[in-house]
Every structure is written in C-alpha cells, then in structure tokens.
Amino acid sequence: MIVTRKIQLLIDSEDKEVIKAAKDQLYDWQRICFRAANMIMSHHFVQEQVKDFFYLTEEIKLKIADEKKEANGILNSSRQNTTYKLLSNHFKGQIPTNILSNLNNTLISSFNKEKDAYWKGEKSLRNYKRNIPLPFGAEVISKLAKTSDQRNFTFRLFQIPFRTYLGKDRSDKKIMLERILGGTLKLRASHIQLDKGKVFLLAAIAIEKEQHVLDPTIIAEASLSIEHPVTVKIGRHEHAIGNREEFLYRRLAIQSAVNRVKKAVTFNRGGHGRKRKMKSVEDYRNMEKRYVEYKLHVYSRMLIDFCVKHRAATLLLINQQEKEEIAKEDHYLLQNWSYYSLKDKINYKAEMAGIQMIVE
C-alpha cells in the first residue's frame, strides 16, 4: 500500500546565491510542467476523438495505435510514447527527462481512468494550474543520510542538496525516513511541491498492510451525521463516536472568533499591506482547519479500531449517498459537516487494516 507524507525541505547550503539559484531552477521546472501537463491531456483527448474529425466514407479505417503493431494504425509509435516524444522535442535540455517521463506516465494513467466519464459528459478534461507538483522517480534521490544532530536528513535530488525540516515531528515521518534509510521501506515515485516560497517533498512510501484476524461474515454498519460524527453497529454492539457538543459547537466557536476578528481588521496595524492586516483572520482559519483535521483522524481511527476489535471484515456506510445529496442543498451542513474528508480518512484506514468499505 502506498502512503504519502508531506515533508518540508530546505536547500542544504549557507550560500544565499546557491539557495536562490536552486529555487529559481525549481520554479523554472514547475512552469515547464504546467505547460507540459496541459499539452499531454490535450493531445490524448484529441487522439481519442480523432475519428470524429474525419468525415469520410466507411472504407477509411483508422485506429489510434502504432502502425508497426496494428494494420490500421496511424501513429509512428505507441500512444504513451507520442506525448513523451512531444515533450522531449519541446523541453529537452530545459528540464530533467525523469520529470517529463513520470509526468507523462502519471497523467496518462489518470486520463485512462477518467476517459469514460469524459465521453458521458460526467467530467470535464483536467486543467492543470501553475502550482503543479514536480513528479520524479525514487531512483534519482542519492546520498540520503542523517544530519549531524540526528534530527533531520540530507539528500540530493537532481544534484540539488536538500535537508529536511521536521521540527517538532509528532507523526511518523522521521521513523519512515529512518526505515527508508535502513532499507525496510521503499520510496516510490514522489513529488516536489512549491508553495509560497517553501519547498515540500510529497514522499510516496510503500508500506505493508496491517495484519488482523477478520471474519468475512461480520459486517459493521456505520452512519455519519452532524449529530454524532460516527455511529457504528456490529451485531448487538453499538457505539457512538463523538457528539454535536464536542465537535460542532467547538467549530462554530472558532468561526465566531473569525467573524469577530474580521470586523476589527480595519484597525489592525499595517506595514505589509493586506497580508499583515489579515494575519489574525488567517490564524483563526488555520486553527479551525487543524481542529477539524485532528478530530476526523481521531473519529476514523476509533471506528476502524472498533471494527478490528469485533473482527468485522466489511464496513458499510448506510445511506451515505442520500445524506450527501441532502447536504449539498443545505449550506449549514455543507459548511460544517466534513463528510467527504471523514469518508476519505475512514476509507484509507480501512484499507490499511484490510477492511472492505462499501458506501450505500
């Protein structure tokens, strides 16, 4: 199973010129990836639709395939290779080919999964923005080692020296990096993300699923609601996880604080324009975000632990789709009941534990 950890990176140098040059290089590569990603999606969309561009007789036979492998093929290489050759012709020498190759593979995989929805009109073609992460293969990371203080790690990526900044790491990031260094975990194709001048590693790590003794005949029925974030029933055992007072009222209290601070923004000290004036508002908004994320992690963990305790191999979310449709029409529910995020966290932890989740 692949999990992702977001780790802040620093350019491992004391020379300001080296740091500036490295960041400028990364931003140049990001601009190229932004252009390349939209080119890839556009070309593959056109390749799928090319038959509609030919208003000829039925005697004309076309197939989007390599002419060397298919009798009616009209391409001079495989479909996947067409866009890689396109990117190579446009950007060779400007960006590492490893980034282009991983970008091409990732986007084609996404396109193939979603193309049926494109034809049915259920989904529009993806449009990539300028803040697109830079994909790369794990093989290009070299010289991974611990720093002298044993708190962080250093490595080289495309010859750029990086150092992790874990801070007061209360998660498992340091442990995972130590296991990657020791060879017990493997790093997969990952991404570099640039955000407001900061650099982050989105590390994709292959880990083994948890081993639990589960009974395929036991089904856990869970219900998500704003009154009780999670209510789960397994046979005669029923358990409510969280309540309205504990989750919702605390969240509304933070939102009220945001509104109070907003009214006082005019009187805040300036000096750096809007950013300085709005700092207190952003601090409270981030407080709400952190609170909600923490609570949803706790609720989803408690739910999966309850299922494991009672050996349930299947987790059924009852009437969830109907509730989501109702919530879309209710602004209050949509704003304050984070059902999408909670459902994703439950699904992730269920997969880790070997539990099959079904949404009803």
> What is the pTM (predicted TM-score) of this model?
0.74
**Alpha carbon separation from 116 to 80, 100, 120, 234 (Å, rounded):** 18, 25, 6, 37
Question: What pLDDT score was predicted for residue 57?
Answer: 47
pLDDT at 59 over 60: no
pLDDT band at 339 (very low <50, low <70, confident <90, very high): confident
Instruction: Round to whole Å and give the CA distance between 152 and 145.
Output: 9
Diameter over CA atoms, the chain: 76
pLDDT at 299 over 60: yes
Sequence ranges of the domains in the chain: 2-18+133-206, 20-120, 215-359
Question: What pLDDT score was predicted for residue 64?
Answer: 52
At residue 92, what is the residue type?
Answer: K
Q: Does domain 215-359 have CATH number 3.30.420?
A: yes
pLDDT > 90: what percent of the chain?
36
Span of 30-34, 119-123, 215-219, 231-235 with lowest mean pLDDT = 119-123
**Alpha carbon separation from 232 to 117, 295, 316, 351 (Å, rounded):** 33, 17, 9, 18
Closest of 221, 178, 226 to residue 336, by C-alpha:
226
Cα 55 to chain center, whole Å?
Answer: 42
Q: Phi/psi of residue 342, each to 5°?
A: -65, -40
Question: What pLDDT score was predicted for residue 121?
Answer: 82
CB 224 within 8 A of CB 343: yes
Give DSSP secondary structure letters for 126-162: P---TT--EEE-GGGEEEEEE-TTSSSEEEEETTEEE
pLDDT at 75 over 70: no
Helix (H, G, I), strand (E, B) or coil at 259: helix
Dihedral angle computed from the Cα positions of residues 236, 237, 242 and 244, in that order, rounded to the nearest 10 degrees: 10
What are the DSSP E strand ranges found in the chain?
Answer: 2-11, 63-66, 73-75, 134-136, 141-146, 153-157, 160-165, 186-187, 190-195, 198-206, 215-224, 230-234, 237-241, 312-317, 356-359
Q: What angle in degrees, to the nearest 10, is found between the helix axes of 79-91 and 97-120? A: 130
The mean of the pLDDT values for the chain is 84
Span of 52-66, 272-286, 311-325 with lowest mean pLDDT = 52-66
Question: What pLDDT score was predicted for residue 346?
Answer: 92
Span of 55-64, 242-251, 343-352 with lowest mean pLDDT = 55-64
Vertex 253 angle, CA 251 and 257, to 5°: 115
Write the pLDDT tens digit of every residue in 224-243: 887 788 899 998 888 999 88
Instruction: Round to whole Å and give the CA distance between 36 and 354.
Output: 38
Helix (H, G, I), strand (E, B) or coil at 167: coil
Q: Which structure tokens are listed for 255?
A: 């939102």
Q: Which structure tokens are listed for 50?
A: 């090319």
Question: What pLDDT score was predicted for residue 324?
Answer: 74
pLDDT at 66 over 60: no
pLDDT band at 300 (very low <50, low <70, confident <90, very high): very high
